[in-house]
Amino acid sequence: MAGILYVTEEGLQKMKDELEQLKSINRPKLSQAIADARDKGDLSENAEYHAAKEEQGLLEMKISKLEDIVSRSRIIDEKKIGTRTVSIFNKVKIKNTKNNAIAEYQIVSEVEADLKEAKIAVNSPIARALLGKKQGDIVDVKVPAGLMSFEIISISV
């Protein structure tokens, strides 16, 4: 991967905490599981050993990916983010013009996106359509279900 990833301070801290957990807790547990499985005899027929080695490979890959993301992450000062037009890290309240349903999303980098927390990736169709727009604008978004129209009710930080 290449390029800088812009993240919130909270998002970067979450990633660092997860990385620490993987390295200091999960990695030693897995090493112990491999050692225990190795002690059970013939490795060619030892399913526990092979499963633990495969899990170790997946863990190391996840650690490597997180280290890469953390090393490329740069914190954006949220105080410098304006609310005149929609940009990354803004919270945007939108209304579906068809059914009047209201939703509020924060636009974040792809590594921080979490729909359960109402955080959508800056490269998602809705976020891309909202970027650069102003309060009161009507935005048409092409989604898998077709074309949806949203009115921007408010923009905040």
Instruction: Name the pTM for this structure.
Output: 0.72
- Residue ranges of the chain that CATH labels 3.10.50.30: 79-156
Ramachandran sector of residue 17 (left: φ over 0; alpha: ψ -120 to 50; beta: rest): alpha
- Residue ranges of the chain that CATH labels 1.10.287.180: 5-75
What CATH number does the domain located at 5-75 have? 1.10.287.180
Distance CA 21, CA 34 (A): 19
Query: Judging by DSSP bridges, how do beta strands 102-108 and 5-7 pair with one another?
Result: unpaired
79-156 topology per CATH: Chitinase A; domain 3 (3.10.50)
Element (H, E) at 40: none
* Phi–psi pair at 74, nearest 5 degrees: -130, 135
pLDDT digits (tens, 9 = 90+) for 88-138: 899 999 999 999 999 999 999 888 999 999 999 999 999 999 999 999 999
SS3 118: coil
pLDDT digits (tens, 9 = 90+) for 7-56: 888 889 999 999 999 999 999 999 998 888 888 777 777 788 888 889 99
